[in-house]
Amino acid sequence: MSEPFVVTQANAPRPLNVVGEKITVLASGDQTGGYEIFLQDGPPDTGPPPHSHPWDETFYVMKGEVSFSLGNEHQLAGPGTLVHLPAGTVHWFRCGPQGALMLSVTSKKGASQLFAAIDREIPPGPMDVAKIVSVITANGVTPGPMPAEA
How does pLDDT run along the chain (150 residues), one tens digit per residue? 688 999 999 999 999 999 889 999 999 999 999 999 999 999 999 999 899 999 999 999 999 999 999 978 999 999 999 999 999 999 999 999 999 999 999 999 999 999 999 999 998 878 788 899 999 999 999 998 866 554
Q: Are 42 and 95 in contact (CB under 8 A)?
A: yes
pLDDT value for 148:
57
pLDDT value for 150:
44
pLDDT value for 2:
80
Query: What residues have CB less than 8 Å from 11, skipping those under 6 apart?
Result: none
Measured at the CA of 129, the angle between CA 92 and CA 69, to 5 degrees, comes to 10
Q: Are 113 and 142 in contact (CB under 8 A)?
A: no
CATH T-level topology, domain 16-143: Jelly Rolls (2.60.120)
